[in-house]
Structures are given as structure tokens and as C-alpha cells.
Chain A
Amino acid sequence: MATKLPTVDALLVGFGWTGAILGQELTDAGLNVLALERGGWRDTATDFATSFIQDELRFYYRHELFQEPARETLSFRNSTIEVALPMRQLGSFLPASGVGGAGIHWNGQNWRFLPSDFLTRSHNTERYGAAAIPDTMTVQDWGVTYDDLEPYYDRWEHLCGISGKAGNIKGQIQPGGNPFEGPRSRDFPNPPMEMTYGPTLFAQAARDIGLKPFPAPSANMSRAYTNPLGVQLGPCTYCGFCEKFGCGNYSKASPQTTILPVLLRKKNFTLKTECEVIKINLDSDKKRAVSVTYIDTQGEEYEQPAELIILSAFVLHNVHLLLLSGIGTPYDPNTGRGTLGKNYAYQIVSSVDVFYDDKILNPFIGAGALGMVVDEFNGDNFDHTNLGFIGGGYIACWNTNGRPIETHLVPDGTPKWGATWKKAVVENYLKSMSLATHGSVMSHRGNYLDLDPTYRDFLGRPLMRMTFDFTENEHKMSDFLTGKTTEIARALKAREIRSNPRKGHYDITPYQTTHNTGGAIMGSNPQESVLNRYLQHWDVSNLFVMGSSAFPQNAGYNPTGTVAALALWSANAIKTQYLKTPGPLVQP
């Protein structure tokens, strides 16, 4: 029998970026807030100190900061005609466990989506005609616009001390920035990072062929910074251990380095770690969430009532918990009915490696979001007429790391082992770099999340089942991006290049990105979405669901900036509207 605990005003399920944001906002509004985190406490000095964090084996290859499939994983198949099998090891994406979530081990590549990204269906239909979107493509408008989110993007960038160069301030194009970005109200709070050699060469080559490269917006600090909450971050030291690692230098924006030192000291905030929420409980007419049930590490079960429940876990866990709790109608790919689990999407990446004879690039001098980018081929920044696809992505020369287990580029045709491989590694390690494409994935009728009929997690709950593959739209788009990247690579006039296009089915094995999206999407009506434009559940008005699970499809940028802007936008709606008049903020 679960022990019933006293009611709190607001309950956060999961304590990464969105949990920290909502905790800060809702405690500011005077609520008593409790956060439940399934993993443990983590802090810089204890868990990622500079005396040991530069450990490629421990943190990446042995996954110390990541979710353990032994506890929770999902099953996967490319299509409904296959039997889904469990993802036994992490690979393609790396969800976290513990306080700070994936906000600890992200690279810090921080973007705003394009204004047209929020209008995927209406914008593309208007520009290219209804035929541009085939029946099998289930893309939707978000129900929220870039202009709605701009003030929240701005707040977020200042909270995190993003280093970058504005490309568009209030409609005025700024030289040296991204000319394609939506208008921003002001510049980034910090100047761009200092560029290493590789991205500098890339930018020159891109300029040579008429493109407009700009420094990537980075959550690695280009200088010491004190954020609006008074929390201080130190300057990045370019150590090259960012993504998959915590920052030992307080130089990467994370919940720990931006919000938690303030939030955790508040009287009206409590965090419980190692508490796994197993169910959200509704009242008898299923219109109101009354409590969650959670289990602690001793196996004790508790019922925690709350007036307001916020799901702020990773995208996959938010959707899994809704499915396990029976909240909403699961999506059926055969009929297209139901919304929960619908429009799961991802990203599609490819690369072109560049090998020099004469240039020492020192790949190890890097940072997670250190790089130069071109955005000519992202979203709808270019004319898609007759290309046979919608969407796009950026092309970047990131200089994230030279960690040698992971990063040892070798030319095309090199064997994978033996003396020839070794020679190629030795000759090319210092003199090679990779140009990356980072492409959108549209939502498609057959790509979705539901509960697995067979496999169970450590608590005996059904695993979530992912059914996903890249479609023709994504392959055409990615091939187009790879082609453009090859043009830039050729302009570098290096000894040789190696193109790594994305071919074939989606494969859950190699690391790609942790940019999973969809499954509990937002939209303008309950027939097509789980959440309204404020991330409020259509059916259960005291339940809000944060995270990229709300994205109706995925854009060609890293999602964290948009996840955070949506969380701040939602928090504002809760504070200014919901708390005054609890109930649905949008009438269906």
C-alpha cells in the first residue's frame, strides 16, 4: 500500500532543464514546489571535477551519466511489420539520469528555430502547394509562433550566457551573424567563442563559395558571466570534454550552473532524488490529475498529491508515463486516430571528413558548441521547388573534441584495424576534421510510440515501443545537405575528403543525436494533439507536459533552446493565467 503524503501546490516529475526552469518560475509565483528525480544528486565538484572528468572511457564508453537500460529502455523496430526488440545498450541517443538530466552532458549547441519551422504545414502548403506534403506526412503547425516565443528565447539565452553573434536584431541584418534567423530583440549576452583552426578554414571556404558562415550560438562561456539570477559561470577552457561529460569548470550552462544554486535554497522548494514516478493518478472522471505514485530506492511506494502536475522528464519518459497512466488516446497508425505517441521524430545527420597534409588542426582544443555554421540550407531558407522534399538542416564545422577512442578519422578505403589502419590514424589525427549536417525529420504516419506488448522494465511495466524509420523525404533532404557539404569540403582544397552520407534504415546502434521529439505533441485542437499551445494537456487541465515531446515534427536545429523557450512560455501562462483561473487555457 502506498503511503499517502501531504499535498503540494506543484509537482515536477523529472529534474533536468525543464524541471529547473519550472521550479524557479513556480516558486517565484509563491507555490510550494516538489521535484521528484529518479536519479541521484550531481554537482560539479563531486561528479565532474577537472581532476577526473577528462575520462573518455568512464563517461562516454561506460555511460556513467546516462540512463541505464537495465532499469529503463525501450523496444525498437523500423516498421510495424517487424517485431520490436529491446534497446539493450544505449547507442543512437543518450538520455540521462540524475539531477540536471541531459543538461549536464549536452554540448551546449543552442538554437532558436526559424519562424517558418513553427508553421510547417501552413507555410509549406502556402509556398509550394498542398502537394508538397504527401498524405503520409503528418506534419502540423505548432499552435505557437516564433513571435510568441521570442521573449522566452531571449530570457533563456541570458539565463545561460549564450555566446554568439546576432544575425537579425529587430529586423536589421547584422554582419557576421546568421542572416536567416528570426528577428531577435537584442544580441547574445556574450561574444562568440574564439575559433580554432578547423572552423576558421571552413568559414573561409564557405565564404569563397558565396555562403554566409557565422559562429555557432554556444552555451560554453566565451568569458566569465553572471546570469540574471546572480549565478556565475567561468570562461570555457576549450578542454574538449563537453558532450557526454559534465563540465568541471562551471563553463557550460546546465541546471547546476544557472538555476539550482538559487532554486535549491528557496524555502518553498524541495527536491527528492532517487524517486521514480510510476504513475499519474486521475480522478474518477479523468479530468484532473490528483497525484503521482512513486517508488524510492528501498522499494517503498508513496502517493504524492498535488494541485498541479508538470511532466519535466526527457521526451521519451514523458510519453511513456502518459501511456502507462492511461491518459489520452494512444495513436493508431492504421486509422490515424488517437494522439498519444503520434508524430515521433528525430534528426538525420551526415558528414564529410576532410584530410590535410600540411595543416595541424589540433582537434583536442575544442568545446561542445565551438564551431562555424552555414544556414543557407536549413528549414525553408531556400527554394524547395522540384527538390522533392521539405525541411533542411545546418552545415557546421564543429570542433568539439579530439578524444581518441571516439575521434580518429581515417580516409576512405582504410581498413578498420591492423597496421594500415594504425598508420592512417597516426598520419591523420592532427590533420583532419569533419563537416557535419544536422537535418530535420518530418513526422510520418508510421513513426510513433506506444507500449510494447512483450518486454517489461525493472518494475514490470511495459517498455515503450518505438517504431521509426527515415522516409524518402528525409533521405532526399539529407543527400541534398551532404552534397552541399561536399562542395564546401572541396573548396577547402585539402588532400582528400570522405563523404559519409546517411543511407538505409534508421539504425539504433551508432550515436547520432539525443534529439528525439514528439509523442505528446502540441497543437491547436485536441483531435490532432495531446497538448494545447501552453503545453497544457487537453483533457487534464492541471497537467502540463514540458520537453521536445511537444514538437509536432523536428526542425534542423538542436532542440534545447526551443525546449527551454517553450518551458518559459508555458510557465508564464501558468503564472499569469492558470493560477488565477485554474482550468483549460484554450477551449477546444
Chain B
Amino acid sequence: MQRSEQGGNSRLSRRHLLTAGLAAGSSLALPSGSSRADTISQQMPWAPGEADNPTPVSGGGYQYLTHDEVAWLDAAVSRLIPKDELGPGAEELGVTLFIDRQLAGAYGRAERWYMGGPWGKGTDTQGYQSRMTPAQLYRVGIKAVDAYCRSEFGGKPFAELDAEQQDEVLGALEHGKAKLQQIDAKTFFKQLLLNTQEGYFADPLYGGNKDMAAWKMIGFPGARYDYRDFVSKHGQPYPLPPVSIYGRSEWIRKG
């Protein structure tokens, strides 16, 4: 079965054909889709060989982000999770690539989200009310933060600030102190921080957490599914190295 790697979730994307493009409230028409209503009778409809494995992110460069946006994100995620004596930071683990592939896929297009108007600002308890998809949010947000930086730091964009200044900017976004054009600073920061932590700690198949380094650093054994032998070993460190959904690099046959 062919699957696109975008969003890491192709079966869903297939189902999404059903609803893609249907802005809520805008239309009664249903799009045509490949998925069909199914009638199941007198059998368990299990089909061998249909396991819905995800397709890993492979090389091939960035799919959504521009060159400048990559530089911006490398700089930002390096401050959110920096490289230090404890282990690699978000940039080293491929979080920018992770974010790129997420934004290029179903998630970046907010395919699952309700994106119908009218649009209101809402209260804090009403959740996300931006009309922007994640992909749009990053595009507009990065530009707006750079504009903010240029006005605050003598014409320099975010990526050219020193680490201390970058932290100051990120803090101003986090607490809503920076006023950005077109976009709510807190909303953008929240999205950026969430996606950075996702990329850092998610299975490496999505492009971040390279070589499971974040898991090794904290002691998470990854995609194992049987700890029965170790349940009663209270207080003992788990002895086995982590494993990802597609194994470990040394398992891959060379040449």
C-alpha cells in the first residue's frame, strides 16, 4: 500500500479524503472519497497483511519550510531545548526537520480541526480560536517575530541575536509581552513549544529524536511492548537500550 509520509499517518489521510476541504458549515456537499461504507455480516472482517504501519521520514530536504525559516527554527528550538553536558538539543536531534514534515502534512493543514467561522477571540478556557492552520501560523509567526526582533534589537532578525537575546524574545512571546503583527504571540509560542517537545521525544521515524538520543538521555526504553519480567524489580534501572518502531540503526543491514 502506498502511503505518503506527510503527517506520519496515511490511513488517516485516506479517511481524511472524506472531509478534506469541507469547511464546517460551508457546504452540504460531500466530497468523493476512496473510502466506502462497508457492510459486515457473519464474519470478522480481518484482512491479512493490512497492518497500518507508518512510513518513516527519509531524507530529501525540507518540504514546507523556506531556507530562512529553517535557520529561524534551528535557532529557536536550540533555545527551547539547548545542547549541553546532559545531551544534544532539539536542533541536533532533527526537530526542525520534524516540524517541517508535520507542517507539510495533514497536521500542518489542520485537517482534523474545526476551521469554520465566524471567528471570535474567545476566553482562555475556549481554546485555539485562530483561523490559521499550523503551517500558516509558523509562516506568519516567524515573519512577525523577526519584525519584532528587528525593531527591538537594531535591525537584527531572530537568528542573528545572541542566545541571551533569543531567550528574552522567547520569554516575551511565552508571556504575551511581545506584540506581533497579525498573530497572537502566546498562541504561536505554545504551538512552537509543543511541536519542539513532540519532535524531541517522538519516535525517530518522524524525523526528530535522532538515534533515540532524547530517550537515552532520560532513560525511556521506547517502543517496547513487554516489561513483564521487570514489573517486580522495584527500584532497579531498566537494563536494555531503547528501541524505536523501526528498530535500531545497528539492526539495519548495511550495503
Contacts and interface: CB of A to CB of B under 8 A. Distances in A.
A422 B7 contact: no
Given A239-B224, A456-B116, A416 B174 contact: yes
A403 B220 CA distance: 8
B123 interface: yes
Contacts, number: 287
Contacts of A194: 231-232
Interface stretch (B48-56, B64-72, B135-143, B148-156): B48-56
Contact of B30 (A297, A454, A505): A297
Interface size class of A (residues with CB under 8 A): 35 or more
Contact of A56 (B24, B115, B202): B202
Contact of A77 (B36, B45, B82, B126): B126
B225 A239 contact: yes
Contacts of B241: none
A417 B193 contact: yes
Interface size class of B (residues with CB under 8 A): 35 or more
A45 B46 contact: yes
B252 interface: no
A238 B234 contact: no
Interface string B208-238: 0000001101111111111110111011111
Interface stretch (A62-70, A490-498, A567-575): A62-70
A58 B222 contact: no
Interface string A241-252: 100000011000
A86 B48 CA distance: 40
A88 B201 contact: no
A144 interface: no
B51 to A, nearest CB: 5
Nearest to A59: B9
A55 interface: yes
A197 B235 contact: yes
Nearest to A86: B114
B115 A296 contact: no
Contacts of A85: 120, 122, 126, 129
B234 A41 contact: no
Interface string A419-460: 101110110011000000000000000000000001111111
A405 B198 contact: yes
A51 B51 contact: yes
A532 to B, nearest CB: 33
Interface string A475-508: 0000000000000000000000000000001111
Contact of A298 (B19, B37, B123, B224): B37
A298 B36 contact: yes
Contact of A364 (B39, B221, B228): B221
Contacts of A359: 235
B7 A52 contact: no
A73 interface: yes
Contact of B81 (A82, A271, A298, A417): A417
Contacts of A237: 225-228
Given A58-B9, A507-B124, A273 B22 contact: no
A413 to B, nearest CB: 16
B225 A88 contact: no
B33 to A, nearest CB: 6
A86 B245 contact: no
Interface stretch (A261-269, A310-318, A346-354, A519-527): A261-269
- Which of B53, B80, B202 has the largest count of A CB atoms less than 10 A from its CB? B202
A54 interface: yes
Contact of A78 (B37, B123, B215): B123
B206 interface: yes
A11 to B, nearest CB: 14
A58 B37 contact: no
Contact of B46 (A46, A70, A76): A46
Nearest to B18: A297
A89 B127 contact: yes
A423 B83 CA distance: 11
A297 B80 contact: no
Given A46-B47, A54-B203, 4 more contacts: A264-B45, A272-B39, A404-B218, A507-B127
27 contacts: A45-B48, A45-B51, A49-B51, A52-B52, A56-B201, A70-B113, A77-B123, A87-B126, A88-B114, A88-B128, A197-B234, A239-B224, A248-B225, A249-B225, A260-B44, A264-B40, A271-B39, A296-B36, A297-B33, A298-B32, A360-B235, A362-B237, A404-B215, A405-B197, A408-B201, A425-B218, A454-B118
Interface of B: 7-9, 11-12, 15-16, 18-19, 22, 24-25, 27-30, 32-33, 35-48, 50-54, 79-82, 84, 86-87, 89, 107, 111-116, 118, 120, 122-129, 167, 170, 174, 193, 196-198, 201-203, 205-206, 214-215, 217-228, 230-232, 234-238, 245
Interface of A: 40-41, 43, 45-47, 49-58, 61-64, 68-71, 73, 76-78, 82-83, 85-89, 91, 194-197, 200, 235, 237-241, 248-249, 260-261, 264-267, 269-275, 295-299, 359-362, 364-365, 402-405, 408, 416-419, 421-423, 425-426, 429-430, 454-460, 505-509
Closest 8 CB pairs of A and B: A456-B25, A299-B30, A296-B37, A54-B223, A197-B234, A237-B226, A57-B202, A69-B114
